Amino acid sequence: MIVDIVKVFLPAVLAFCIGVLITPPISDFLYSKKMWKKKAGKVDLSGNETPIFNKLHEQKEVGTPRMGGVIVWLSSLITILLVWVISLFLSTDTTLKLDFLSRSQTWIPLFTLIAGSLVGLLDDYMEVKGSKDNKAGGLSLKKRLLVVGAIGLFWGAWFFFKLDVSTIGTPGIISDWNLGWLFVPFFALVTLIIYSGGIIDGLDGLSGGIFATMYTAYAGIAFYQQQINLAAFCLMVVGAILAFLWFNIPPARFYMSETGMMGLTITLAVVAFMTDSLAGGYGIMVLPIIALPLLLTTASVVIQVASKKLRHGKKVFLVAPIHHHFEAIGWPAYKVTMRFWIVGIVVAIVGVVFALIG
What integer pLDDT is reported at residue 250 of this predicted model?
A: 83
Assess whether pLDDT exceeds 80 at residue 135: no
Can you give the pLDDT at residue 235? Answer: 98
Please state, for a pLDDT cut of 70, what percent of the chain lies above it: 91
pLDDT(130) > 80? no
Please state, in angstroms and rounded to a whole number, the distance separating the CA atoms of residues 324 and 331.
9
pLDDT at 93: 87
Instruction: Give pTM, 2 decimals.
Output: 0.94
* Residues 341, 201: Cα–Cα separation, whole Å: 13
What single DSSP character describes residue 114?
H
Instruction: Say what the pLDDT of residue 53 is.
Output: 57
* pLDDT higher than threshold 50 for residue 134: no
Would you state the pLDDT for residue 314?
86
Q: 245 with 205: CB under 8 angstroms?
A: yes
pLDDT of residue 107: 97
Give the mean model confidence (pLDDT) for residues 89-105. 91
CA dihedral 296, 298, 300, 306 (to 10 degrees): -140
Q: Domain ranges in the chain?
A: 2-282
Contact in structure between 265 and 112 (CB atoms under 8 Å) = no
Question: Per-residue pLDDT tens for 10-25?
Answer: 999 999 999 999 999 9
| Burial (CB count within 10 angstroms: exposed 0-12, middle 13-18, buried 19+), residue 19 | buried
pLDDT digit string, tens, across residues 141-158? 999 999 999 999 999 999
Q: Which of 48, 7, 2 is nearest to 236 (CA)?
A: 7
pLDDT of amino acid 245: 96
Mean pLDDT of the chain: 91
319-350, pLDDT tens digit by residue? 889 998 999 898 999 999 999 999 999 999 99
- C-alpha–C-alpha distance, residues 310 and 303, integer Å: 10
Q: What is the pLDDT of residue 124?
A: 94
pLDDT recorded at residue 51:
59
